[in-house]
Structure 1
Amino acid sequence: MVLFATHFLSFLFLFPIAIRRLVCSVSLYLESPAQFSSKTWYFSEPKWKNWDFYTLLVALPIASFSHIYLFLAISGLPTYRFSFLAQSLLIFLFWALLILIILKESLDLYVVPESFVFILGGIAFLAEYFMNGRGILGLGGVAYELLGGLALVCAACCLYLSIWPSAFFADFLLSSGLVLKAVWVLQLGLSLYTDAFSVKGCEKMTIMQGNNREVDVKCDLEEDKLRGMALTNLLFIVHTTLVLISSFVLFGLLHRIGNTRSREDSGPLLSNIGSSEGIVMNPLPIFELE
């Protein structure tokens, strides 16, 4: 139950952040496609609207120290003990990345270019790829391997944006990948750590210390194991398809809203007022981004 709660909390933190990044990225691109430049974090004005960023600044160190406590509290040398230490270091790496971002934005540290922050983000995602789900076998190994693949995609997008920050498709893929990561983390918690969504013929995940390896989901028959792997891959394909379709639908909605507002602002009366008083109309005034 604790492991499911961990996955659920990760979903609650990551999903709204990923959705907000996707909306801000698309809005900024539609406002001026030729001048689009990706950012590691899209800040809004006033500053209190960035509650998700400040929540992460507080939550990530707490989560990191919690994993260190679990590492120290477990006696002996079970194979899963050091995974808590690895997760703690990984969380701390992402927290250090947030610290660098807030220092760059608050103190105007132009000596730290945006490309350098993207490179550090790519390194953090690469570290997640190498640390994620190591030692877990069976159905859990398949599910965590797919999650690691998403981290690898996010790392590639960050490294690409560090070279070509104007590449909107890379930013769009990064934001959609973060949304998919959040959804898949929740699916992992439901499939591996609960009885209600477990695969038929397989028991929920238990950690054992036999032969220096971890056993996650135990299936009575080989057919049940193969069916569970096929179902896991199918669920991932379904999640990927739904997230991509939702992302393109969101793009279309924001584009339509922008065109509607642009037509309203370019009416005869408003155009006369704007020309006489020097008012500049924003075609997509949804977010005020720095």
Structure 2
Amino acid sequence: MAALISDIFSSSALLSLGLYHLICTTRNHLKSPRDYVARPYHPFPLSGSSSSSPRLKHIQLYLLILSLLVALVHQLLTSTDSDPLLKGRTPVYHFTSLQSAAVLFLFLLLSLALLLSDATSLLPLPSDLLFALASAIFFLQFSASSASASVQTSDLQAKCDSISACISAASALLCLLLACQPRLFIADVGLGASFCLQGLWVLQTGLSLYVEAFIPEGCHRLLDVANGVDGSTKCDLEESRLRAVAILDLVFVLYVLFVVVILLVIYAVVVKTVGLRRFGSYEALPMLTTADSDHVQMKSLAGTQA
């Protein structure tokens, strides 16, 4: 139950972060396409008359730091579990759990650095450096998820970890693109979409592993594992395992389609709210009136006689 609650909490944090990033990115681009530059953090819009605005301005970062702290504590507690029935008969999982905890700690440090950079003058970090650091951490997350997938005793958990690793790799690539090309709007939107996709997949992972109604047919949880932690969902037959993996692949594709629909809806709503400015189209020149035309011709004749 604790693992499912942790997945729901992480999913909510990632999904809200992705939606907020998509809305702010689209809004900034539509307001000023020529001056658009990707930002690693978008302050919460507040009226300047409120005395508490400086504090509430960074509420997103405060919530992100709190979410990372909760996830870090849960991962550290999970890594100390010594029951061989829960984690298998080798201590390999302990090292992968500690690796995931280290990645979360790096994300926590990056969030704190971002807060200091935006709220104070103690650590004025440029945006390209922040994106580069985020890219490196996402790559480490990809490495941690891949390592966890390779040592899992549960086929379903291994499949979920491998898909999560692919999403982390995409996030790392997008952050690297934004560090090199900060005006690349497509990469910035893709980064927000990757947050949403990762959040949805974390939720699907928790449902597929710990909720009986969502466990694929032919797979089951071990009866001697009361907590229902990683590695406790098994598929007895190879045919059942292949079917479960295929179902997870199909669900992932559906989530990708759902995120694309969310992106289009957000773009349409923001366009209605902000308005769309087209800078790539030709604009008709103003028509000259008869009086203006005669005035131009008289000036031309006067200049010729002179």
Give the TM-score taking structure 2 as reference length.
Answer: 0.77
Three-state SS of the structure 1 residue aligned to 2:275 is: helix
For residue 270 of structure 1, what is the aligned residue in structure 2? none
What is the distance in 2 between the residues matched to 1:74 and 1:167?
47
Q: How does 1:88-103 map to 2 (within 5 A)?
A: 88-103=101-116
CA offsets 1:10-38 (integer angstroms, 9 cap, x no match): 01211111111110110011100111101
Name 1:200's counterpart in structure 2: 217
Q: Choose the corresponding residue for 2:140, options 121, 124, 127.
A: 127
Match of residue 185 from structure 1? 202
Distance 1:146-1:238 versus aligned 2 partners, 3 A rule:
same
The aligned counterpart of 1:84 is 97
Structural RMSD (CA)? 2.4
Contact 2:116 2:123 (8 Å CA) reproduced: no
Q: Could you report, residue by residue, the CA deviation over 1:26-64 in whole angstroms, capped at 9, with x for unpaired residues?
A: 001110011110111111243415423112223423432
- Tell whether the 8 Å contact from 1:206 to 1:217 is kept in structure 2 after alignment: no
Partner of 2:253: 237
Larger radius of gyration: 2
Structure 1 letter corresponding to 2:7: H
Per-residue CA shift, 1:118-153, capped at 9, x if unaligned? 011001110110101332252221221111101000
**Mean CA deviation greater in 11-20 or 23-32:** 11-20
Query: Are the equivalent residues in 2 in contact too, given 1:67–1:84 (CA < 8 A)?
Result: yes
Q: 1:215 to 1:59 in 2, by over 3 A?
A: closer
Matched, 1:258 2:271: no
From the superposition, tell whether residues 109 and 159 of structure 1 become closer, same or farther in structure 2 (CA, over 3 Å).
farther
Runs of 4+ in 1 over 4 A off after TM superposition: 205-208
**Count of aligned positions:** 256
Aligned residue number for residue 273 of structure 1: none
Does residue 165 in structure 1 map to residue 182 in structure 2? yes
What is the CA–CA distance in structure 2 between the aligned matches of 1:119 and 1:89, rounded to whole Å? 18
Q: Which residue pairs with 2:75 in the alignment?
A: 67
Q: Does 1:249 align with 2:265?
A: yes
The answer to whether the Cα contact below 8 Å between 2:15 and 2:200 also exists between their aligned partners in 1 is: yes
Contact 1:150/1:181 (<8 A) preserved: yes
The alpha-carbon deviation at position 94 of structure 1 amounts to 0.2
Contact 1:138 1:216 in 2 (8 A): no
Change (3 A) 1:72 1:202: closer
Identity of aligned residues (%): 25
1:19 aligns with 2:19: yes
Q: After alignment, is 107-116 or 33-42 more displaced?
A: 107-116
Structure 1 residue ranges without an equivalent (≥5): 209-213, 261-290
Q: Who is 1:141 aligned against?
A: 158
Answering whether residue 235 of structure 2 is matched by residue 219 of structure 1, we say yes
Contact 2:40 2:131 in 1 (8 A): yes
| 129-138 or 235-244, which deviates more | 129-138
Q: Cα distance 1:36–1:207, how it changes in 2: closer, same or farther (>3 A)?
A: farther
User: Measured at CA, do residues 52 and 199 of structure 1 come closer, stay the same or move farther in structure 2, by a change above 3 Å?
Assistant: same
Which whole-Å CA distance do the structure 2 matches of 1:207 and 1:125 have between them?
Answer: 36
Spell out, residue by residue over 1:140-173, the C-alpha distance to the aligned partner (whole angstroms, 9 max, x if none).
Answer: 2122111110100000000000011010000000
One-letter identity of the residue aligned with 1:60? L
| SS in structure 2 of the partner of residue 218 of structure 1 | strand
1:193/1:205 contact within 8 Å kept:
no
- The CA deviation at 1:249 is 1.9
Tell me what 1:154 maps to.
171
* Distance change (3 Å), C-alpha of 1:205 and 1:237: farther
Query: Normalising by structure 1, what TM-score?
Result: 0.81
Amino acid at match of 1:147: S
